Structures are given as structure tokens and as C-alpha cells.
Chain A
């Protein structure tokens, strides 16, 4: 059994707690949150010891691994403390508010030889994994352009301020929504290396951007467009998609559907010349316990497996999350 503690029982934290609670290899030993309504509930029904001080929780429960699901501005200090104690970490995204902080955590996790993972769950979605596989096989020839997008209805009117509306605390569309898309680009294509031009537009928010438009250049020389807007209520929920154009074809994928066009008969099994439309049902494997989407359970299963030494710590490790933090910082510097 892996002893796990969770810091932060908000939207992501409570979802992690539920999935961990159903995991056969996990013993949930402690939860830390500042809301008494939430901790009283967990204490009473889930019978898990709850704390309001994470240091006290760690010293009393001695977990093997800790999940950190608190506002981004707290990530650096908390994760540093946890790693220093010799404990594995699953952190929510983004990793840190600055690449300097993130770099330190990458080095510390490496030095201490601890499992480290960040919650970029798109990498556990079957359609996006298939995109990566097709690109690795150079199925659409030489890739010459990409468009990576996400839209959704998070901020659709002027509202009172919370941590999500303060850039110093990790608020804004760039850190919240766009980070997922950038991470997907980094992973499926190549890491963002240079930002040609960027626009950060506020629509309803006073202090942060509600949309991000950017021309990106990747390490492998490929360039493309990032377009993200979290104030678009023509979408029911967050919708992330990527379009990739190559000399032999084109890929359009979101979390539900993969469309691939081949100009000639391809070598890939299960695909033919012209349009191919496949759905998530063709790729996604069942999880043991489902909440909100297979990817949320799959990423936790992967982390727990990594802690037990069953899989390498290669998907969504701090190093890959740092590449995303770095791209975010490049985009912000370019826009200002």
C-alpha cells in the first residue's frame, strides 16, 4: 500500500481524494484544507484524518506521497518542503509561477530521486496519445504548421476578485487554460523555444487576460499558432484541440474525436487514403474507477504505479511541466 496525503480539497483536490479513496493500492492517511465545512465532511464520512497545517499533517502521518492541489502561488514552497522530507509529489498544474522556481524543484526531485508528476491530464487521453503515435511514425510526412486551441466558459462576466483573477497568485487564462494547450504542443510536437508575437487580451477580467493569442516556434524548428479563450460560452465546457498540417496529410484532434486526412494510401494500420474519423471509444481503455473522465483516474494510476516502481516516471514529470512554465514565461515576456 502507498500512503498518500492530499493538500487542498477544492475542485481538483476533492476529485483526487475520491479517486485515491477508490484506489486499491492507496491508503489515504491525511487531508489538509482550510475549509472546515470540507474537512468536517471528510473526517465524518471518509474517516480520514484532516488537518489545517500541512507540515503538521506530514510529520504526523508520514506519507509516501503527497498530492498538492492548492493555488499555484503556494506550489513552490510546499513542494520544496515535501521533497526535502523525501516524499514523492503529484502537483497540480502549472508547476510554479516562474521557471526559476520550477527549475529548482526539478533539480531537487532529481537529487532526492523522488517520483514527481504534474496534473496535465490531456496526455492520458486516448485521442491525443494517438496523435503523438502518428507523429512519431511521421504518418503525415513533414509537419509544417500547427494550430493549438482551447475554448470554454470560465469567465463570462465581470465578477468579484478571487485568486484566479490575480496574476501574482497564478490567475489568468495563460496559466490556467493555455498551460494545458502549451503542454500538449510541447509533448506531441516539440518544446516551445521562442515566441514570435503574443497578444494577451482581457475581456471581462480587470487584472488578468481572458484570452491568449501567440505565434510559437518550437525546438525542432516547427512554428504554429496558439489560440485560447476562457470567456467563450459557446462551449459547454473546456474544449482543447490541435490541428497539425504535414506534407502528406493533416490531423485534427480533440479529446473526443480524431480526424486524419491522408493524401496517399498510408502505412498505418487501420487508416486509409482520404479522411479517417475515429472516436475516443477506439482508443480509451477502461479505468478501474471513473470520475469525470478516464484521464483523471489514469494519471493517478500512473503516479501510484511509478511510486511502486512499476512504470518509469516519464509522463508529466516536473521537467516536462517546467518546459510549459518556461513557455508561459516566454509568452508573457513577449506580450508585455
Chain B
């Protein structure tokens, strides 16, 4: 994993602190060209990994990348699935099983479950695998070395105690896509313990990690303790923590923490990408110097 990962929230009107800003972003990134322009800016700033949701529009971005193999030969994508809102609206209307019946490709339900038979573990895992394959279609031919499960699903499964499904995701990603599984979560410490108990070694876990303590369930201190004492590769997201702290101070905090493999951030302009990336490189260099002196 690269140290700096570029995120996609800004492209799809996801803004956790302002509905107004999210509207402005929806307008700004109406065209695929506008998105590509910013991705090219990120590449110019030395960031070659794009971590993105399996949103319909990402399929178009993938088409553009595939059409320019030379230009994007070092470019990697970390898909994050599923794009939950697509399913959430369907669940409201059709219920959970109705939604799965609508979205799981092929004739899985028609052929197997006509007579009210009991569902077996392998059935749920097959449903999951079919859905992963459907979400992964848009990335065919592109490099996707890490594939993430979105936090709404990871966290739902944590609460439901369905650890086996988390492990099945991890194993299937390795087996089918020869990639590493990642988990996005808002409950980092909890997930680290669960995966450790389940025997998943050195997992990739993406969570909100910021000086403000925003969306760090169980508290900032618990997160810091977990980073110090457990073996996993953390990807820090929401590092600016809603903007209550200056970007410089925010990045300094994250760079000084142990065990942070990568830092994920999104931005809409080249200036903002440059300044955040340069803070990360600056504080990383300071940390390295300090370590050398010790």
C-alpha cells in the first residue's frame, strides 16, 4: 500500500459536515472529465492509488482508465463495496430478502429456494460471493490490490456477531481476486479484536482517525492504545476530523501515531491535494529523522 491514498467522497456529494458543500460538489463533478482532471492532479502530486466506492459512475472512470493504459500504467484502484445507498433504498421498498433476490445475479434463489428450505452457511457465502463478483465487474483488467468492505456492512456484521462472514470476505478476495481484503469500520478497536480472535493475521483496517476524536467509537484513547498494542495495518480516514482543527495540526497528529500504514484523503482542487500531501511528507520525514537520532 502506498502511504497516501486518494479518496472519492468529494466526487459523489458525500460531505460529512455540510449538505451545502455536498450540493456544490455534485455540481462541480457532474461530468466524468471533471473527476478525471482531479485524479490526474493527484497523480501529478505523486499519488497513484484511488480508493473508491463501487458507485455506478466509477464504471465510467474505469472505462477511461482502461482506454489510456500507458498514461495510467502505475495507477491502482482500491474498490470499496458495496455502494450502500443503492441497496438501502431497495431494502426500504423490498425488504432484505427482496433486495437480495433483485441484486444477486443469476437464478440463485429461483433454483434453490422455492420450497422454503433452510438456508445453510454456504448459501450465505455464495450470496456474498455472487454480490462481490457483480460489484467487481466494473474493474476488470485494472489493478485492484486491496478490496475493501464498506463500513456500513462491516459494522452491521460486527453487531450481528457474524464474524464468519467477515472472514469469508477476507478469504474470497484472496482466492478469487488474488488481492488483499480490507475492512472499513467506525469501530476500529472492536474489529481489531474480533479479527485477531478469528485468526486473521495483520488485517488492513480503515477507520476514522483524527485529532478531534470524531467518529472514533469508544473514544480516541482506546484507538491510540489499539494502534500501539495490536498488529494490523491501519488506513486513517477523516483525518481532518470535520475541519475543527487546522490541516497542519491534523496531519501532524496522524503522522505521529504508530501503525498507520496509509492516510486516505480526498480533495477537489490541486492546491488542496498538494498541501495535504506535502504535510504528510513533511511530518513523515520529521518522524524518520527523529527515529534515526534515537
B155 within 8 A of partner (CB): yes
- Pair B242/A281 contact, Cβ less than 8 Å: yes
- Pair B158/A281 contact, Cβ less than 8 Å: no
A162 to B90, CA, bound (A): 11
Which B residues, 77 to 112, have Cβ-Cβ distances below 8 Å to chain A?
85, 88-89, 91-97, 100
Q: Which of A32-40, A116-124, A187-195, A310-318 interfaces with chain B?
A: A32-40
- Pair B241/A19 contact, Cβ less than 8 Å: no
> What A residues does B197 contact at CB under 8 A?
none
- Pair B161/A47 contact, Cβ less than 8 Å: yes
A7 within 8 A of partner (CB): no
A287 within 8 A of partner (CB): yes
- Pair B96/A291 contact, Cβ less than 8 Å: no
Which B residues, 129 to 160, have Cβ-Cβ distances below 8 Å to chain A?
152, 155-160
A279 within 8 A of partner (CB): yes
**Shortest CB–CB separation between residue B251 and chain A, in angstroms?**
17
Q: Identify B97's interface contact among A17, A35, A153, A159, CB under 8 A.
A: A35
A217 within 8 A of partner (CB): no
Q: Identify A46's interface contact among B116, B162, B213, CB under 8 A.
A: B162
Assign chain B's interface to a size class. Answer: 35 or more
Q: State whether A241 and B121 are in contact (beta carbons under 8 Å apart), knowing that A17-B160, A280-B242, A291-B159 are contacts in the complex.
A: no
**Shortest CB–CB separation between residue B170 and chain A, in angstroms?**
15
- Pair A287/B19 contact, Cβ less than 8 Å: no
Which A residues, 222 to 279, have Cβ-Cβ distances below 8 Å to chain B?
234, 236-237, 239, 241, 254-257, 279
Q: State whether A257 and B17 are in contact (beta carbons under 8 Å apart), knowing that A10-B95, A162-B94, A286-B216 are contacts in the complex.
A: yes
Q: State whether A18 and B89 are in contact (beta carbons under 8 Å apart), knowing that A11-B96, A38-B97 are contacts in the complex.
A: no
> What B residues does A108 contact at CB under 8 A?
none
Which of B121, B124, B152, B156 has the most C-beta atoms of chain A within 10 angstroms of its own C-beta? B156
A25 within 8 A of partner (CB): no
Q: Identify A36's interface contact among B12, B116, B190, CB under 8 A.
A: B116
A144 within 8 A of partner (CB): no
> What A residues does B93 contact at CB under 8 A?
159, 162, 164
- Pair B92/A254 contact, Cβ less than 8 Å: no
Which of A38, A42, A44 has the most C-beta atoms of chain B within 10 angstroms of its own C-beta? A44
B259 within 8 A of partner (CB): no
A22 within 8 A of partner (CB): yes
0/1 interface trace, chain A 156-184, chain B, CB 8 Å (1 if under): 00010010100000000000000000000
> What A residues does B22 contact at CB under 8 A?
236
> What A residues does B113 contact at CB under 8 A?
37
- Pair B190/A281 contact, Cβ less than 8 Å: no
Which B residues, 153 to 202, have Cβ-Cβ distances below 8 Å to chain A?
155-165, 186-187, 190
> What B residues does A153 contact at CB under 8 A?
89
B38 within 8 A of partner (CB): no
Which B residues, 214 to 248, have Cβ-Cβ distances below 8 Å to chain A?
214-219, 241-244
Of all A-B residue pairs in the complex, the 4 with the closest CB atoms, nearest first, are A18-B159, A281-B242, A290-B186, A45-B162
- Other A-B contacts than A255-B19, A288-B218, 13 sampled, CB-CB below 8 A, are A11-B91, A18-B155, A18-B157, A21-B159, A46-B161, A47-B161, A164-B92, A234-B26, A256-B18, A256-B19, A257-B17, A286-B216, A289-B155
